[in-house]
Structure 1
Amino acid sequence: MAFIQRLQLVQREADVVERKVDRLVKDVNNTHGSKEELFRRCRELQISAEKTLKALQTLAKADDRAPEEDMRYDRKKQAEERRLKKMLERLNTLSLELSPPGPSAAADNISKEDSEDDGDGNSGDNNSSDDDDDDDDETDGKDEDRAPSSSQFYMVLNDLEGEQEGDLSIQRGEVLRIIKKTSDGWWLAQNTKGYRGVVPKTFLKLDSEIDDEDEEDTEDEDENDEDEEEEEDEVEEKPSDDQGKDSKVSNWSTVRKALTQIDTTDVLSAMGAIPSGFRSSTLSKLLEEDVHFKCSHYVQPELSGSQLSFKDLSLDTDTGRVRSRQVRTCVCFTLWSCRMIPSPGVGLQVLSRHIRLCAFDGTQVLSNIHTVRASYNSKNPKTWTFSPMMSGILPTLLDGDCFLRSDSLSPNLGILFELGVSFLRKSTGERGELSCGWAFLKLTDDTGNPIPNKTYELQVNGGTPYEKDVIVETSTNRKSVFQQMLQGKQQPKLNVKLKSTNSRTRAQLSLLPDTLLYCLNCVHLLVLHRQLLADTLLIDRPTMQNADPISSPILSTFPALLDQTDLLDALRISWMEAETNMSRAQKRDLTYLKQEFSKVYMSVYFLLNSPSLPCYRWADPPSEEQRARVIYAALEDLKKYQHTARQSGGPEIFFDSDHSHFAFDVQECTFDLLNAAR
């Protein structure tokens, strides 16, 4: 039983280290000794604890042990490992508290050691915490996606053979350690032999007996364990009295979580389902987490520094129109095509291929994030194409003709293109979005002059925009050296054309906000909204200091249409048909245009509050099809009413029993300047 004796030796070393840690904590609390001496002792204990932990992790397993004995040995080893990591966390806290001002060598060293642990495959253990409640194991709440404590063991209820790569085969009665829980019901687990994979949570049952045995083993090793844990809690609570110390501890915990958290992309990469270089979409996360990256935010008026006037919105007193504003950068460009873009592997259903783009200076996003969906041929899925100059009933989402206005002073300003795919994992039903790579087009040369208008072939890089020199593999299969050399000449490319526009388009663009990225076919709608916004805020308000809510359905709901492009298409088509019935004089009459636009807009406003219209959901084909049927059926009915009444926006449709709508809410037609203004 030499392996048990080696484990006992490690346990004795851990006991010695723990007693020294307790003595150090008491000396720190009682301020016995100088701060430099206490910091030196803390550093020595960190080194001793790390050596003991590594010695524990390198203990070999015996091949001739019985399964029950092997399992008992593993539980004791894991309990000892948790105890050592808990001591290290206490020492890390003390190190941050005792370290002198400036960069801490101890903290740097610990960070390196943690990164080495991550490289050894122990990332699932590093973010363990004994403070997690056992009740969290049985709930499926919003905290389910975090990595659980390493003390959470589950027993397998039934046998299950892994059907595909990445699944873990399990047997009834087997005990698994849960590394990460996810909301889709497939948890990442590890068996006693060290194999990892995903298993369905319905096949697992919380094994409380194992947790009890772990606690008994720990109590047998030290009779005063409970008193020491209470003393440790007091020590951990003490730094919270100092705000600066508390922030250091919380930041360290955040860094450890970020380093050890297992992402969906990591699981798919391990399964071989995605090519090398794919990552979780960076721009998609920004859109989901922060409304300030949506177009609806940037079309709102921007307040000046004094908060008493508008920075980018003013009227020409002679004409009554919005005054034009020139910005440092205003470019128009067209997305042409992408080639050699690899597709996800077997097991993933692609719901959308698209490009998300924004203004970028190498470090931060400087505009809204705009999305253009790509088309492809099933015979050649590696080539993506786009449809410039959209017209008629074709959707705006496919429009590759875009513009960018930016007043940024950054010398590295450019356009970031992130190629992405939205996917559905067939085995679990999990939805997500992957980045297939990114490209960057800097809009100025080395001397600071604008780059010429021409077609640019951009290299598509792998990883995220903050990673360098990551290559996107065009296949998940291994290739020979010759094939790899040939593949180097066939790396993914994106073709983008910078172009000039006519004077009418340039004049319309000058009326828009200082920062905006959107498609060119909607510029005239944006200009009309801008004009109505200026009239309401600069003319109709009693005083410039008045900030009362304003009754205006257009101003309150138009930004929402920019984030739901199918409704924006309905407005664009309706307005296009209304313009065909106007004379030249009417098209030049701004007052008449605003009146007609308000009438046409009410048909879309009616759709926006229709219960038959499903909620807008990105890359959901059934929802998109149902929304399209509802929208175009309503537009056809509206045409009939308009033809009968011979007027734009016939009101009869709004009272038809066949077209129900939600109960009226006054907030739907209320524009709140204080909440809307930037």
Structure 2
Amino acid sequence: MGKSSNPSLKQYAKEADGYKKKLDKLQKECAATLKNPSMSDRAEKLKTQYQECVDLRNDMTDLQKRISELTKSTEPTKISNFDGKKEDELKRLNNFLTQVGEMEKKLEPDLTEEDYFKKIQEDLHSEEEGYEEEEDVEEEKGEEEAEEEGEECEEEEFSDEYEEEEEGYEEEEGSYEGSENEEEEEEEQATDEETKAETRINYEVLHDFEKQEKGDLSVKKGEIVTLCSVREDGWWQCENAQGDTGFLPKTFLKQHIMYSDLMQEDDSPTSPRTGKALWGSVKKALTETSATDVLHALGAVPAGFREPTCAKLLALDDKHTHVNYSSVKLSNSNVFYKDLFYNPITQRVRPRTARIQKTVTITEAKNIPLPGSNTVVINRLARLCLFDGNKFLSNIVTVQAQCTDKEGKIWKFPMKANSLESPECFVRISEPNNQTGILIELSVIYSKKDSDQLTELSCGWAFKRMFEENGALILNKEYDLNVNGGTPFEKNIEVDPTISRRTSSKFVSMLSRNRQPTLTIRTGAATNEQKERFDVLPSVIAGKLCYLQALALYRHHLAHVLIRDRENLQSTESLFDPFLVHFPSVLEQPDLIDMLLESWESKLKAKSRADKRDLEILVSTLISTFTEWIYPLIHMSLPSYKPGHSKTLQERTTIINRFLTQASAKISALSALLDPTLEFEPFDMTEVAYRMIGAHCIATV
């Protein structure tokens, strides 16, 4: 539909109703096509339906933009509660766009292969078998007719509501003040009823949840609750079957509606591991008394400083590390892998593009306050990951900053060969939501002047969404981001409120903005060479750009070992491969990965140009380098790697240098393994046994 000469919210609402009917019809058609692999013209239908989804999404995005541009003053007729109705329409369209996006993911050409649809059909058959036996054609027709009647009634109610308002204003201009209150009450009541009808959706509880604070709702796994209202912080108000209401974290809920299984991918995230553990740890971090709380009470640190959320998650377990996100993931059916596909013709991992696939370079942070006068700052860190405002979506990457100014408030991130200090990172996620973006948390490692104990403290965080308001990806350019205080789960917290309190006039207030903490980042697109490597990575991952080639070769080796070279693809027997076992954990230790890459590149210098382009030679050289130099070091009782802890890093460097000295004197690293002066951990079979079904084979996002 084209734009009206006198656009109004009423006209746009009717246009949205039309798109809703198209969406419902398209959903049923797509579900029927996906369920029937024996359909003669199935491939053509899938292609057509995919294009219909794209067209419908574009139309609804255009309508959403037009509605957002409406103002109360430009409405042809006066409408009470205009802003509320406008917001409701925008929310409704956003819901439609989400559903269309889900359908597009099912129908994308890259995913519409026979094996994939066969798996979809098997899952659907097992889940819907009982339901299909009870359903007949007449009942389906009855449902369709009831839905159409309901839609017509909704449209008539919405239309009547506007017509009544118009008549009221035409007939009773003289008694405007008295009638306005009445009409507003009626409008608000009608709006509340409509909103209530739309939002009261049933949800299934994914995990047990015990009431932790006043206002929470205790529920059990599998219980069905009704949504009452939502909040921006991710806690939703729900009502259980007994009529009790309270708040639940939205990550504990899964929408419980008819046909929902038909629109769910085999590789969509359903693991219960992200919700309770994450929210429990975060709420504990926000409520327990810590050293930071004591410093706040004494006024020793800026009010916006907190214990670092990213550091706490990394210390809690390895869910937000390369160890988890680099590991191959099983599909929901546990029959095969969801993010690793092998092309036997090219003998390589089959490339899979991602919606978000960008390089991110951290360049500078300004006006970052110091912890306090009685402290000594040892190091400054920036931690980067994907985040959507409610949960962490990827592993966490750490970058060490430098400080050169006398006041110590300007952080620099120069290009470095050292991987810990390298500010060039990348992020990749195949299926982001509209709120997905890059989170960067800044923190300092400091000690008191009279103590050697090191403490890490968050100096604030910055966030950049990956999508514009119209749904398009952000441009590749430099961005200056405001640094917020508190944790990433807190809103509208200043890093140092005293900066704004010092102002005495509007002019001084404007000048004070230049003293507010900011972070500068630069986003970019991958080069052709980088894109080839990005396309073989897992569906969700973040990392240093200098690791990219090694990560890609690791993925190729995974495909060779797990798919190409296995005699029995159904076997889950452990495989002998120290490289697969330990490489992901080495990515969390920059001193070891630097050593690996340096030694590997040194070996490649002796290779011919043809060998440097040969995938098999590149992989075998990387593995031999790893086995010779890195595998022994992993088992030399190295202190745990702690970014920014200079003393610990120096201890590691001493042990590594001693090993290298002995290895050089004895010509090879293998000889150093037999040196009685070097101490190694006792051998354990788990060092060399790669488990097909390990702790990280289930998707966490």
Work out the CA distance in 2 between the residues paired with 1:525 and 1:254.
33
Matched letter for residue 466 of structure 1:
F
- Quote the offset at 1:302 in angstroms: 0.8
Corresponding residue SS for 2:626: helix
Work out the CA distance in 2 between the residues paired with 1:372 and 1:441.
17
Q: Corresponding residue for 1:651?
A: 670
User: Aligned pair in 2 of structure 1 residues 261, 601: CA closer, same or farther (>3 Å)?
Assistant: closer
Work out the CA distance in 2 between the residues paired with 1:469 and 1:584.
55
Coordinate RMSD, CA, aligned: 3.2
Q: Does the CA-based 8 Å contact 1:419-1:437 persist in structure 2?
A: yes
Corresponding residue SS for 1:273: coil
User: Aligned pair in 2 of structure 1 residues 660, 263: CA closer, same or farther (>3 Å)?
Assistant: closer
Which of 671, 675, 687 aligns to 1:668? It is 687
> 1:548-591 CA deviation, whole Å, 9 max, x = no partner?
11111111111111122211111111112112221111112222
Matched letter for residue 420 of structure 2:
L
Q: Corresponding residue for 1:20?
A: none
1:394-405 counterparts in 2 under 5 A?
A: 395-405=418-428
1:495 aligns with 2:520: yes
Corresponding residue SS for 2:395: coil
1:322 aligns with 2:342: no
Matched letter for residue 415 of structure 1:
I
Work out the CA distance in 1 between the residues paired with 2:612 and 2:552.
14
> 1:249-289 CA deviation, whole Å, 9 max, x = no partner?
xxxx9999999743332211122211121112112222222
Higher mean alpha-carbon deviation, 343-352 vs 602-611, is at 343-352
TM-score under structure 2 length normalisation: 0.57
Q: Corresponding residue for 2:618?
A: 593
Q: Corresponding residue for 1:604?
A: 630
TM-score under structure 1 length normalisation: 0.59
Work out the CA distance in 1 between the residues paired with 2:282 and 2:349.
49
Matched letter for residue 423 of structure 2:
G
Q: Does the CA-based 8 Å contact 1:420-1:435 persist in structure 2?
A: yes
Q: Report % sequence identity.
A: 33
Q: Does the CA-based 8 Å contact 1:313-1:322 persist in structure 2?
A: yes
> 1:352-383 CA deviation, whole Å, 9 max, x = no partner?
21111111111111111111111111524111
1:564 aligns with 2:583: no
Q: Corresponding residue for 2:446?
A: 423
- Quote the offset at 1:658 in angstroms: 4.0
Q: Corresponding residue for 2:396?
A: 369
Corresponding residue SS for 2:354: coil
Work out the CA distance in 2 between the residues paired with 1:454 and 1:609.
43
- Quote the offset at 1:423 in angstroms: 2.7
Matched letter for residue 606 of structure 1:
P
Matched letter for residue 655 of structure 2:
V
Q: Does the CA-based 8 Å contact 2:380-2:644 persist in structure 1?
A: no
Work out the CA distance in 1 between the residues paired with 2:582 and 2:281.
38
1:626 aligns with 2:646: no
Work out the CA distance in 2 between the residues paired with 1:347 and 1:564.
31
Matched letter for residue 496 of structure 1:
I
User: Aligned pair in 2 of structure 1 residues 100, 360: CA closer, same or farther (>3 Å)?
Assistant: closer
Work out the CA distance in 2 between the residues paired with 1:256 and 1:406.
26
- Quote the offset at 1:485 in angstroms: 5.8
Q: Corresponding residue for 2:408?
A: 381
> 1:123-168 CA deviation, whole Å, 9 max, x = no partner?
xxxxxxxxxxxxxxxxxxxxxxxxxxxxxxxxxxxxxxxxxxxxxx
Work out the CA distance in 2 between the residues paired with 1:409 and 1:625.
40
User: Aligned pair in 2 of structure 1 residues 484, 428: CA closer, same or farther (>3 Å)?
Assistant: farther
Corresponding residue SS for 1:292: coil
Work out the CA distance in 1 between the residues paired with 2:525 and 2:283.
50
Corresponding residue SS for 1:544: coil
Corresponding residue SS for 1:396: coil
Work out the CA distance in 1 between the residues paired with 2:544 and 2:287.
40
- Quote the offset at 1:104 in angstroms: 6.9
User: Aligned pair in 2 of structure 1 residues 624, 599: CA closer, same or farther (>3 Å)?
Assistant: same
Corresponding residue SS for 2:447: strand
- Quote the offset at 1:297 in angstroms: 0.4
Q: Corresponding residue for 1:164?
A: none
Matched letter for residue 327 of structure 1:
A
Matched letter for residue 543 of structure 1:
N
User: Aligned pair in 2 of structure 1 residues 626, 474: CA closer, same or farther (>3 Å)?
Assistant: farther
User: Aligned pair in 2 of structure 1 residues 581, 658: CA closer, same or farther (>3 Å)?
Assistant: farther
Matched letter for residue 483 of structure 2:
V
Q: Corresponding residue for 1:578?
A: 603
Work out the CA distance in 2 between the residues paired with 1:462 and 1:349.
21
Q: Corresponding residue for 1:545?
A: 570
Q: Does the CA-based 8 Å contact 1:345-1:476 persist in structure 2?
A: no
User: Aligned pair in 2 of structure 1 residues 255, 628: CA closer, same or farther (>3 Å)?
Assistant: closer
User: Aligned pair in 2 of structure 1 residues 625, 429: CA closer, same or farther (>3 Å)?
Assistant: closer
> 1:612-642 CA deviation, whole Å, 9 max, x = no partner?
x33333432111012123324434554565x
Q: Corresponding residue for 2:333?
A: 306
Q: Does the CA-based 8 Å contact 1:331-1:403 persist in structure 2?
A: yes
User: Aligned pair in 2 of structure 1 residues 100, 331: CA closer, same or farther (>3 Å)?
Assistant: closer
Corresponding residue SS for 1:403: strand
User: Aligned pair in 2 of structure 1 residues 270, 625: CA closer, same or farther (>3 Å)?
Assistant: same
Work out the CA distance in 1 between the residues paired with 2:471 and 2:500.
43
Q: What are structure 1's unaligned runs of at least 5 residues?
A: 1-91, 108-252
> 1:336-365 CA deviation, whole Å, 9 max, x = no partner?
100111111023332321111111111111
Q: Corresponding residue for 2:294?
A: 267
Q: Does the CA-based 8 Å contact 2:358-2:526 persist in structure 1?
A: no
Work out the CA distance in 2 between the residues paired with 1:487 and 1:587.
55
Work out the CA distance in 2 between the residues paired with 1:385 and 1:616.
23
- Quote the offset at 1:477 in angstroms: 12
1:207-218 counterparts in 2 under 5 A?
A: none
Q: Corresponding residue for 1:517?
A: 542
Corresponding residue SS for 1:417: strand
User: Aligned pair in 2 of structure 1 residues 569, 492: CA closer, same or farther (>3 Å)?
Assistant: same
Q: Does the CA-based 8 Å contact 1:308-1:544 persist in structure 2?
A: no
User: Aligned pair in 2 of structure 1 residues 593, 473: CA closer, same or farther (>3 Å)?
Assistant: same
Matched letter for residue 654 of structure 1:
L
Matched letter for residue 411 of structure 2:
W
Q: Corresponding residue for 2:473?
A: 450
Q: Corresponding residue for 1:615?
A: 640
Work out the CA distance in 2 between the residues paired with 1:255 and 1:401.
28
User: Aligned pair in 2 of structure 1 residues 457, 497: CA closer, same or farther (>3 Å)?
Assistant: same
User: Aligned pair in 2 of structure 1 residues 383, 677: CA closer, same or farther (>3 Å)?
Assistant: same
Q: Does the CA-based 8 Å contact 2:445-2:645 persist in structure 1?
A: no
Work out the CA distance in 1 between the residues paired with 2:475 and 2:245.
49
Q: Corresponding residue for 2:504?
A: 481
Work out the CA distance in 1 between the residues paired with 2:284 and 2:688.
44
When Rg is computed on C-alpha atoms for both structures, the one with the higher figure is 1
Q: Does the CA-based 8 Å contact 1:474-1:491 persist in structure 2?
A: no
Which of 342, 351, 359 aligns to 1:332? It is 359
Q: Corresponding residue for 2:557?
A: 532
Higher mean alpha-carbon deviation, 460-469 vs 413-422, is at 460-469
Q: Corresponding residue for 2:435?
A: 412
Q: Does the CA-based 8 Å contact 2:500-2:509 persist in structure 1?
A: no
Corresponding residue SS for 1:280: coil
User: Aligned pair in 2 of structure 1 residues 550, 258: CA closer, same or farther (>3 Å)?
Assistant: closer
> 1:5-54 CA deviation, whole Å, 9 max, x = no partner?
xxxxxxxxxxxxxxxxxxxxxxxxxxxxxxxxxxxxxxxxxxxxxxxxxx
Work out the CA distance in 2 between the residues paired with 1:512 and 1:258.
32
- Quote the offset at 1:428 in angstroms: 6.3
Give aligned pairs, total.
429
Matched letter for residue 290 of structure 1:
D
Q: Does the CA-based 8 Å contact 1:341-1:474 persist in structure 2?
A: no
Corresponding residue SS for 2:408: strand
User: Aligned pair in 2 of structure 1 residues 282, 588: CA closer, same or farther (>3 Å)?
Assistant: same
Q: Does the CA-based 8 Å contact 1:342-1:474 persist in structure 2?
A: no
